[in-house]
Amino acid sequence: MNTPKPANVTVTLDEDTFAIFKEASQIVENAGIRVPTSQLVQTMLNAESQRLSPRKIAQRFLKSLMEQIGGLRRGALEDEEDEKIPSLKPAAAKA
């Protein structure tokens, strides 16, 4: 029997994405409900994790890593065609 394991996740949003969530938070607040931006982000992430199984999310992440480091042979980890696998962007070098 699989027992769920808790996990803490930290999300870093680019400025444009954060601005969109901030705007959504302001719209909700104008309607009379105070919802912090971080709660909107968490709600969206929770909805996505319910849409896809956690196992599927983990498999897509692994597949993405393997492709990006060149360790994935064509045809390995094949699954039904789903949305684009997210790509990792290298961190900007600090001088």
Q: Where are the domains of the chain?
A: 10-51, 54-83
pTM of the model: 0.49
Q: Which amino acid is at 80?
A: E
Question: Would you give the DSSP letter of residue 45?
Answer: H
Question: Would you give the DSSP letter of residue 86?
Answer: P
CB 68 within 8 A of CB 90: no
Percent of the chain with pLDDT over 70: 73
Q: Which tokens is 33 given? A: 């409900």
The string of pLDDT tens digits covering residues 24-64 is: 888 888 888 888 888 888 888 888 878 888 788 888 888 88
